Amino acid sequence: MMRRVLVYRSDLLPPSETFIAAQAHALRRYAPVFAGLRRSVPTLALPSAASPSLARSAGERLLFQYFGRSRGLIAQVRAHAPALIHAHFALDGAEAVPLAQALGIPLVVTLHGYDVMCSDKTHRETRRGRRYLARRENLWRMAECFVCVSHAVRARALQQGFPADKLQVLPIGVRPEPCLRTLAPGDTVLFVGRLVHKKGCAILLDAMLQVQRQLPHAKLRVAGDGPERRSLESKASALGLCAEFLGMRSAAEVRLEMQQARCLAAPSITAASGDAEGLPIVLCEALGMGLPVASTWHSGIPELIEHRVHGLLAREGDAATLAQHLVELCSNDSLVQSLREAGYARIQQHFHLDRQTALLESLYDEAVAGQRRGPAASDARALTPLPPPFAPLEWDEEATLSVRSRMPSRRSLDAELPSMKMHREEPAHSTRKLPANAAEAAGKYPTPREHPQAACVRKDR
């Protein structure tokens, strides 16, 4: 009988998280079943024959969020007899610890980006963030494995104190087109993503002003929604841009937009909160469709794209260089063809969804067997299937990942949220001796400064 993996996400599943559904659908040796506290509105269709396990009332949700107790949710999940839990994002992983303990099964957590990139100060601004900080040490103890979507995420997780021997780099990947398609004519620049600060759409509008001065027929199409949409629409109007804001689009509609675009712009930047990308899946999707991309030297993006080999990269916030790159992509056919071929081959060889999911299932096997061991601190890439970035790595004090936040003491967290302390009993399948508190963890696990191999920022730019 095929083993089952319980995919946990507090909100099941926002339309922007198609990558979670796609990964679950790509599993071959494990059958996914889903659990969470509520269905998001709007929501994605879930790739599972079984109905998702959800908290049945607001009271049950609160009990589970604050105390890890929910007889109804635990009973629903137990009926599926999962072999392990896979939680997406660190905050959801902390919520899922009591569920894993109640069922006596291992927990695997994927770190996607904002969950570890945001500073502790930012997390303290929300109730959920404060609960996460109070439970973070317990999550370090109880999770069998943390799957990082990029080396940049792993470096930041190390910096925060996550145990080095449990961190594994494994991007999710996408399923590319069967063959390289013909590129659409015209000068349409496409943006796909949530309209939040770190996506850099405001920078893109500044760049498009320069692009349209050189290419009067160029136009921008923005697929996505978010809190900055109104201000971005106002800015585009004030600049007199030929830009259309499409709102939220389904996966099929985004695919159609990509087929009709000349290039994709993804000018990601680091937010004031420290929030940053992990590895934007939209870039993988674009390369897998043969769509040339203009992006930035940001977080895990250079691990996917080598400048002028797979795409064009500008410094964060550099609208002038971004504009120059977009003009090149709209007018230089020989460069575009070279980028398309190399980008498509990159996805086929290193970021194919089926390949990445097979590696994930191997991690599941090890977690269930209780045998998972991560790379030693001195060899941060020993087990990582992703090839290292293209230039020698050097920690850069000025770069995105140099954002530091002092880890709160256990005493301060216990004083802040005394009702949320979780018991720290080790599961039967774990024999690993782990740090008892944040101070010990900070001393035991090396920082990126001490081990430059773990860092993912290039200083040569």
Q: What was the pLDDT predicted at 431?
A: 43
- Assess contact for 277 and 196: CB atoms under 8 A: no
Please give the average per-residue pLDDT across 375-400, as a whole number: 37
Question: Residues 276, 146: one domain?
Answer: no
The secondary structure element, H or E, covering residue 156 is helix 151-160
Q: Say if 179 falls within a structural domain.
A: no
Q: Say if 269 falls within a structural domain.
A: yes
Q: What was the pLDDT predicted at 49?
A: 64
Q: 295 is in which domain, residue-wise?
A: 188-350
Q: Say if 181 falls within a structural domain.
A: no
Q: Say if 256 falls within a structural domain.
A: yes
Please give the average per-residue pLDDT across 55-76, as a whole number: 83
Q: Say if 438 falls within a structural domain.
A: yes
Question: Residues 245, 326: one domain?
Answer: yes
Total domain count, the chain:
2
Query: With bands split at pLDDT 50, 70 and 90, how would you rate the model's confidence at 294?
Result: very high
- Of 130, 172, 195, 134, the C-alpha closest to 288 is 172
Question: Residues 122, 218: one domain?
Answer: no
Identify the domain boundary among 315, 350, 385: 350
- Of 218, 286, 287, 225, the C-alpha closest to 257 is 286
Q: What was the pLDDT predicted at 40?
A: 85
* Strand extents, DSSP E, 327-417: none
- Of 335, 332, 296, the C-alpha closest to 313 is 296
pLDDT tens profile 218-255: 999 999 999 999 999 999 999 999 999 999 999 999 99
Q: What was the pLDDT predicted at 42?
A: 82
Please give the average per-residue pLDDT across 98-102, as a whole number: 94
Identify the domain boundary among 324, 350, 376: 350
List the Cα angle 300/304/307 in 5-degree steps: 100
Provide the 3-class DSSP secondary structure of residue 439. Answer: helix
Q: Say if 461 falls within a structural domain.
A: no
Query: With bands split at pLDDT 50, 70 and 90, how would you rate the model's confidence at 109?
Result: very high
- Of 372, 362, 368, the C-alpha closest to 165 is 372
Question: Residues 411, 445: one domain?
Answer: yes
Query: With bands split at pLDDT 50, 70 and 90, how would you rate the model's confidence at 416?
Result: very low
Question: Residues 196, 338: one domain?
Answer: yes
Q: What is the CATH number of the domain that holds 29?
A: 3.40.50.2000
Per-residue pLDDT for 381 more than 60?
A: no
Question: Residues 279, 157: one domain?
Answer: no
Per-residue pLDDT for 61 more than 50?
A: yes
Q: What was the pLDDT predicted at 361?
A: 98
Q: What was the pLDDT predicted at 355?
A: 97
Query: With bands split at pLDDT 50, 70 and 90, how would you rate the model's confidence at 50?
Result: low
pLDDT tens profile 146-187: 999 999 999 999 999 999 999 999 999 999 999 998 998 899
- Of 455, 438, 431, the C-alpha closest to 373 is 431
Q: What percent of the chain has pLDDT over 70?
A: 79
Q: Residue-wise over 2-19: b if at least 16 C-beta within 10 A, else e? A: ebbbbbbbbebbbbbbbb
Question: Residues 437, 420: one domain?
Answer: yes
Per-residue pLDDT for 103 more than 50?
A: yes
Query: With bands split at pLDDT 50, 70 and 90, how would you rate the model's confidence at 211?
Result: very high
Question: Residues 379, 315: one domain?
Answer: no
3-state helix, strand, coil in the chain (%, to 5): 45, 15, 40
Quote the pTM value.
0.80
Question: Residues 341, 438: one domain?
Answer: no
pLDDT tens profile 1-38: 799 999 999 999 988 899 999 999 999 999 999 999 98
